[in-house]
């Protein structure tokens, strides 16, 4: 720029078509490593000077060489060195308007040293596990059952059966036959998820994030964070690696984990956070092009639509390119099968559609899946006229892009915003019309979604209270015994999952929900120590009956075509039967004439008294009730009416 601009002036300049025309580029960025040369490229169109610094190590020590870079077309600075610098660490000094942004990481870096402070030149082929080129995901199952895990808390428990040297690390995800205390009876970790019936493992953030000290996290249960604090978007997190100082270890071990999960029959979903960064002026995106990658208020200050202090300007062309490049990189290089977008409601609709289109073109229609949260953490400030990917705009997204359905979540158990709020299973009544909308995935004429293909149906995730803790708070508030087994809480939990299993959409669950996972009532445990966040695998054994209930319903759901239908016409399968009383209702779900059970009845009784439900003409079989979800294996045939016990959801199938 010829003249120094204020942040407010920069906002208008960066938003202009003139800036886009001058500086948008599709040229290669990052490091290009060849046999005898290494080329560094950084997009820094507002810089007046850029220097490349080279280091022998990822932390400590001074630079061994500093080389001025040359400005080129479209704002790309480049430096070509006639040597192979594989294994060398580097960063940039970027000067803009006389201000030096020293030691700036490469936004396109593929690995880094300790805590991501220095980028690393890597030969990605050198980091590949054995037979990596042959790795591929299992074929898409008839139904999606998505199981959300955090790398560290999933295997940290001493009862997990995971050897101590692997606990909390990527390497724990390569173990296929783990059992409780290693004694071979109760499956744990991925062995448990496989036997439960999960088809997808959704990994909470595994890119390099900034809220933990990587060198300390391996051995300290108090060094913990969910990881929604991006630093290096294209670098694996080092705290899950066996050696966080080794820039190759984090790559190789994450790939080994993905390879193992594919081998076990899982598809792998990556939780991505392209809506904000851990810091503003300390982040490499800001330091390479001050303010460009971030939305601003009218006065030029940082907008905070994320609620975390920063807000990525996804609608600007080079930001859009960066996010698309990053998604494609993870899909290609790490064989990631899909992406869960944190606060997707902050990203723009055209970008989300471009990402899905690019993935479909490169990998085949529907091979890579996208979903996200259709909301923001605050008020966003995009370029005027930008359509954001929130609930109100779901119909403007590709029909295969899905979003979490908070309407079903809150209808079943009460709002996550209010500890005492209740839903169907804990005293809020069971209005048949609302139950029907849940079964339709809140899609169609009266819903936010065009089709159930856009609905992620769930009861709990890492955010907010676990399902168990919410039920304890609303049903056992006097005792608040999170570690006990109150029968009314168990009954409500079973009823909640029975309802969810009949809802159209993609089925999603927080790991441990199936055995009453508790965080001792902590709502937002994003940085709580592992004694709060850790998966308690002994609890899996103690609540084996609840685990079996989930397992049976997952298997049953996969046989219900009416629940698994993702088409725009799926809602027509859900028919009203009757409202029995305030707390009881019954609905009819059409599976299809050629199915095992052409029609299915869901009867829900959340009252304290048994109710009688009249059935359509024909013979009916009880497939599941309030205690057992495997009755479909040996169905009992009845005619005309059924008595539904208190606090029970019952599934009945029409006998052919």
Instruction: Return the biggest CA–CA distance within the chain.
Output: 84
Catalytic residue chosen out of the listed positions 253, 315, 342, 654: 342
How many Å apart are CA 475 and CA 479, to the nearest integer? 9
340/500 Cα distance (integer angstroms)? 20
DSSP H/E element including 120: strand 119-120
Q: Which of 208, 214, 325, 373 is catalytic?
A: 373
Q: Is 93 a catalytic residue?
A: no
Provide the phi-psi class of 194: left if phi over 0, else alpha when psi is between -120 and 50, else beta.
alpha
Give the sign of the dihedral formed by CA 29, CA 361, CA 236, CA 222. positive
- Report yes or no: 331 and 268 within 8 Å, Cβ to Cβ: no
Close Cβ partners of 531 (under 8 Å, ≥ 6 residues apart): 221
- The strands making up 70-71's β-sheet, listed across from edge to edge, are 30-33, 38-43, 76-81, 70-71
Q: Give residues with Cβ within 8 angstroms of 624, minimum separation 6.
A: 498, 552, 553, 556, 630, 631, 632, 649, 650, 651
Compute the residue count for the chain: 656
Structure tokens at 97: 């308007």
From the number of C-beta atoms within 10 Å of its C-beta (0-12, 13-18, 19+), residue 64 rates as exposed
Examine the residue annotation and report whether 32 is marked as an active-site residue of this protein: no
Q: What is the DSSP letter of 428?
A: S
Alpha-carbon distances of 578 from 79, 175, 424, 436, 620, rounded to whole Å: 73, 49, 16, 11, 17
Buried/exposed 523-532: b ≥16 CB within 10 Å, e otherwise: eebeebebeb
Q: Which residues are catalytic?
A: 342, 373
């Amino acid at each position: 720029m010829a003249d120094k601009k204020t942040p407010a002036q920069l906002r208008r300049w960066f938003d202009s078509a003139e800036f886009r025309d001058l500086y948008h580029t599709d040229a290669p960025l990052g490091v290009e490593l060849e046999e005898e040369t290494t080329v560094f490229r950084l997009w820094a169109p507002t810089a007046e000077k850029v220097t490349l610094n080279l280091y022998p190590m990822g932390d400590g020590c001074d630079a061994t060489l500093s080389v001025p870079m040359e400005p080129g077309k479209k704002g790309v600075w480049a430096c070509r060195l006639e040597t192979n610098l594989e294994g060398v660490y580097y960063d940039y000094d970027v000067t803009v308007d006389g201000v030096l942004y020293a030691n700036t990481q490469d936004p396109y870096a593929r690995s880094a040293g300790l805590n991501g402070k220095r980028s690393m030149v890597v030969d990605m082929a050198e980091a590949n596990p054995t037979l990596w080129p042959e790795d591929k995901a299992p074929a898409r199952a008839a139904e999606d059952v998505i199981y959300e895990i955090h790398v560290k808390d999933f295997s940290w428990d001493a009862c997990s059966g995971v050897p101590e040297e692997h606990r909390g690390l990527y390497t724990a995800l390569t173990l296929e036959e783990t059992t409780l205390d290693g004694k071979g009876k109760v499956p744990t970790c991925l062995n448990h998820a496989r036997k439960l019936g999960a088809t997808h493992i959704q990994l909470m953030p595994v890119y390099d994030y900034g809220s933990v000290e990587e060198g300390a996290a391996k051995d300290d249960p108090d060094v913990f964070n969910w990881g929604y604090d991006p630093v290096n978007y294209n670098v694996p997190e080092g705290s899950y690696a066996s050696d966080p100082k080794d820039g190759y270890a984090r790559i190789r071990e994450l790939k080994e984990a993905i390879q193992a999960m594919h081998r076990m029959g899982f598809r792998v979903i990556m939780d991505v956070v392209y809506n904000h960064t851990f810091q503003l002026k300390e982040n490499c995106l800001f330091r390479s092009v001050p303010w460009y990658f971030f939305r601003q208020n009218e006065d030029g200050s940082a907008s905070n639509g994320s609620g975390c202090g920063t807000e990525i300007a996804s609608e600007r062309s080079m930001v859009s390119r960066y996010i698309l490049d990053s998604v494609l990189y993870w899909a290609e290089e790490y064989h990631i099968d899909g992406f869960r977008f944190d606060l997707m409601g902050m990203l723009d609709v055209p970008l989300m559609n471009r990402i899905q289109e690019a993935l479909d073109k490169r990998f085949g229609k529907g091979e890579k899946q996208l979903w996200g949260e259709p909301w923001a953490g605050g008020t966003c400030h995009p370029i005027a006229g930008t359509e954001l990917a929130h609930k109100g705009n779901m119909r403007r997204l590709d029909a295969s892009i899905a979003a979490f359905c908070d309407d079903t979540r809150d209808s079943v158990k009460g709002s996550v915003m209010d500890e005492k709020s209740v839903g169907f299973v804990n005293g809020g009544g069971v209005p048949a019309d609302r139950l029907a909308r849940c079964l339709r995935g809140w899609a169609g004429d009266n819903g936010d979604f065009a089709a159930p293909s856009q609905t992620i149906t769930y009861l709990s995730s890492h955010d907010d209270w676990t399902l168990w803790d919410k039920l304890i708070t609303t049903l056992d508030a006097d005792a608040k015994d999170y570690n006990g087994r109150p029968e009314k809480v168990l009954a409500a939990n079973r009823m909640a999952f029975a309802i969810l299993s009949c809802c159209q959409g993609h089925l999603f669950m927080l790991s441990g929900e199936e055995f009453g996972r508790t965080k001792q009532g902590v709502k937002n445990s994003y940085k709580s120590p592992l004694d709060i966040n850790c998966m308690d695998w002994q609890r899996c054994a103690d609540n084996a009956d609840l685990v079996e209930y989930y397992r049976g319903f997952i298997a049953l759901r996969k046989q219900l075509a009416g629940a698994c239908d993702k088409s725009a016409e799926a809602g027509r399968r859900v028919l009203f039967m009757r409202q029995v009383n305030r707390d009881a209702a019954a609905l009819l779900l059409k599976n299809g004439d050629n199915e095992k059970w052409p029609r299915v009845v869901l009867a829900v009784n959340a009252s304290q008294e048994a109710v009688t439900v009249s059935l359509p003409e024909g013979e009916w079989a009880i497939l599941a009730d309030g205690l057992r979800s495997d009755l479909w294996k040996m169905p009992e045939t009845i005619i005309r009416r059924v008595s539904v016990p208190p606090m029970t959801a019952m599934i009945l199938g029409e006998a052919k």
